[in-house]
Chain A
Amino acid sequence: MKNPPKAVALISGGLDSMLAAKVVMDQGVHVEGINFFTGFCVEGHTHAIRKHESAKPKRNNALWVAEQLGIKLHIVDVIEPYKQVLLNPTHGYGSNMNPCLDCKSFMVGKALEWTQANGFDFILTGEVIGQRPMSQRADTMPVIQRESGAGDRLLRPLCGKYLPPTLPEREGWIDRDKLLDFTGRSRKPQIALAAKYGFKDYATPAGGCCFLTDETYSRKLVDLWQARGSREYELDDIMLLKVGRHIRPRPHFKLIVGREEGENNFLEGYRKQFVHLQHVSHMGPLVLIDGDPDANDLQLAAEIAARFGQGRDAPLVELEAIDKNGDKHLLRVKPMGAEQIMQEWYV
C-alpha cells in the first residue's frame, strides 16, 4: 500500500487547531503536531509560578491536545528568531504588542522548514476567516501563504471551502467536500464539532495564544524597553514580566514584588542576577530591583518594599539590601503609606 500523505499541524493548544488536525486525520492523512515556544506563550509555566492557579491541574495544552488526538508533538524553541518578528513586524501590531500577522507567517514558515527537513507534504492550521481581527481575515489568508513561503502547501481545514484549492486537494490527498466552512467570531460551529468528536475539557483561552495580546503585559514590556533605552530582551526578562507587581518609582529602576508564595519562589531563582531586598525584622516578600539603584534609591525602594510586608504598620522595619556580589547592608525604614505609593508608579 502506498504510504499516506503526511501533514504537520500547528498545534497551539486551543480547540481550533485540534479540530483542524482531526478533520485531516479523518481523511487518512498521517498528522504530527508542531508547537512553537516564543517565550510569550501562555502555556504551562504561569500556572507553575502562581500558586493560586495551581488548584487547576497543570498541563501543557499543546501536549494534551496531541495526546487526545494520538499524534506526536514537536515543540520548537523559537525564542531567538522570534525577536525579529516582535521587534520589526512588517504589518505592525494588533491592539497590544501582538504582531499576529507576522507571527503567523513566521510560524507557518518555520513549519514549512520542518516539513522539508522531515519529508512531510503539507501544513495545516486551525485558522478561521474572520476569527481574529488582525491575522485571520479573508485578505490576510493569502498574505500568510505568500510571506511564509508555504503557498498552496498550507491548508486551513476549518474554512477550506471558502479558500482556493490547495495542493493537498489537487493531489487528491484531501477531499475538498469534507473541508469545513466556518467563518466569523462565533464559536458555536467549533463547539458543536468538538461535541461530535467527543472532545471535552479543551482549553478556551480568551484573547490570543500569547501574553502579547494582554494589555498589562504589553505595557510592562514597553516600559522595560523604555527604561533600558533598548528593545533587546532575554528570556528571563520576558518571564519576569509575568510575575509580581512591578513598581517604577524612578525612571532608572523598578521593584518586582512577589504577590504570593509561588511568585516568591520563582523570584528566589533570580537573586544572584539582581540587587534585592529581603525583610529582616518582619515577614515580607522578596523584592528584586531591576536597574542600578544608588544608596538613596535603595532607601526609597526599601520604604516601598516595607509596605508589602507584615511590618507595614510598624514605625520602623528592617530590610537587607543585597547586591549582585552577595554583599549585604542593613536598612531601617519607615514603611511608605499606601497613599504615598503613586498610582503611576505601578507599571
Chain B
Amino acid sequence: MSAQQLDARRLLCPMPVIRAQDKVKQLKSGDTLEIICTDPGALNDIPAWCRINGHKVLLTEQIGGEVRIVIEVQ
C-alpha cells in the first residue's frame, strides 16, 4: 500500500479532478492519495468524483488558501 501526493495548486476545476483521476488510475486498491489544491471548487468536485467512482474520502480540510483532500483508492 502506498501513500502518494498530488500537487494541484493553482489549477482550476476541473483540472484538479482530472489530475486526481489520472493519478488514481496508476494506484492500487488501499493506496491513498493526498491532493493539495488552491481552487476551493475541488472541495466539492473531488468528493463528488470519489462518490461516483466508489473511492473513499478520508479527509477534507481548508487551511488558509489551500485545500487538502485525502482519498483512499477502492
Contact = CB atoms under 8 A, between A and B. Distances in A.
Interface residues of A, number: 29
Q: How large is the interface on B (under 10, 10 to 19, 20 to 34, 35 or more residues)?
A: 20 to 34
Q: Among A49, A60, A70, which residue has the most Cβ atoms of chain B within 10 A?
A: A60
B48 A239 contact: no
Interface stretch (A74-82, A323-331, A336-344): A74-82
A47 interface: yes
Interface in B8-60: 10, 12-15, 17-18, 21, 38-41, 43-45, 48-49, 51-53
A121 interface: no
Given A60-B41, A265-B65, A77 B15 contact: yes
Overall SS of chain A's interface: mixed
A71 B18 contact: no
B50 to A, nearest CB: 10
A57 B39 contact: no
A229 interface: no
Contacts of A48: 12-13, 39-41
Contact of A43 (B13, B40, B51, B52): B13
Interface string A60-75: 1011101100111111
Given A75-B14, A75-B21, A67 B52 contact: yes
Contacts of A73: 49, 52-53
B41 A47 contact: yes
21 contacts: A37-B15, A43-B14, A45-B14, A47-B41, A48-B13, A58-B41, A58-B44, A58-B45, A60-B44, A63-B45, A63-B48, A63-B52, A66-B52, A70-B52, A72-B52, A73-B53, A75-B14, A77-B15, A77-B18, A239-B12, A265-B65
